[in-house]
């Protein structure tokens, strides 16, 4: 299952059925679980754990040292769940001791070619990062987030579950759950309403979506301060529990939200 030209350190822990392609390099602290396929010319380094049934395509770099000038060879980690697709030339870096020392990625995510996951990012499940999507350090993504091609997220930005970021956006503030963001002109991002189509695909009912649209209007159309909007959302979530995710995100944002 390991190509004769691949270099796999004897200390690496690979399940018996893991495949490793030609000219790939696996470091001594790497652990790879069953069913994972590592293509040709892939480098996996550092204290890195890969779960089950992942597929890593050519020229990807996984678990390399963070691109942070403060990094001084401390022992930090990368953890990746199951059923992820890591396409050509994707880069995913380990954490730093200035944070939790951990970059963590969930399951069933798709990272298209040349996308970048920086140090200390925490990603949920069922995320899509399109070609060249770039996450700065310490970014947090909820479940089912879609980031379109050529987008860039500033370090420490948080994106709530089910949010959609359109092509070419430069994101410097937090994006609440369920929201669509357009980025015409790069930094001139604008809010475009609820991600209705994405919610339909994930089984949200028309009634739920209508209530979430009302939640959106409370935050973005009624001229309220965030603290006032939160109080109104508390009332609305009695009608629809999905609003709770919206309200809790607003309570915990540290960078302010995209307006």
Known catalytic residues are 119-120, 137
Alpha helices (H) in the chain, listed in sequence order: 196-201, 206-220, 226-236, 243-252
Q: Please report where in the chains the tokens 């401390």 appear, as a residue.
A: 74
Residue 255: its H or E element: none
Compute the Cα dihedral for 174, 150, 50, 9 and give only its sign: negative
The conformation of residue 118, written as its DSSP 8-state character, comes to -
Q: What is the signed CA dihedral for 197, 202, 206, 210, rounded to 10 degrees?
A: -70
Angle at 171 between CA 165 and CA 172, to 5 degrees: 150
């Amino acid at each position: 299952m390991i190509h004769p030209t691949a270099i796999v350190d004897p200390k690496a822990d690979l399940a018996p059925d893991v495949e490793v392609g030609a000219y790939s390099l696996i470091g001594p602290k790497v652990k790879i679980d069953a069913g994972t396929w590592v293509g040709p010319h892939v480098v996996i380094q550092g204290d890195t754990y890969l779960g089950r049934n992942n597929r890593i395509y050519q020229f990807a770099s996984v678990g390399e040292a963070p691109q942070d000038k403060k990094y001084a060879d401390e022992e930090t980690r990368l953890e990746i769940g199951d059923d992820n697709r890591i396409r050509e030339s994707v880069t995913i870096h380990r954490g730093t001791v200035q944070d939790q020392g951990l970059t963590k990625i969930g399951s069933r995510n798709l990272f298209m070619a040349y996308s970048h996951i920086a140090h200390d990012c925490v990603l949920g499940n069922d995320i899509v990062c399109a070609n060249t999507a770039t996450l700065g350090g310490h970014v947090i993504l909820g479940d089912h987030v879609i980031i379109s091609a050529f987008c860039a997220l500033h370090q420490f930005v948080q994106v709530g579950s089910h949010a959609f970021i359109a092509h070419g956006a430069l994101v410097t503030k937090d994006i609440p759950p369920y929201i669509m963001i357009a980025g015409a002109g790069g930094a001139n991002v604008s809010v475009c309403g609820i991600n209705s189509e994405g919610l339909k695909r994930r089984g949200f009912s028309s009634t739920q979506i209508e209530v979430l649209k009302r939640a959106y209007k409370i935050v973005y159309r009624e001229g309220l301060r965030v603290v006032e909007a939160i109080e109104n959302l508390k009332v609305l979530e009695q009608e629809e529990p999905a609003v709770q995710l919206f309200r809790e995100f607003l309570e915990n944002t540290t960078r302010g939200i995209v307006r």
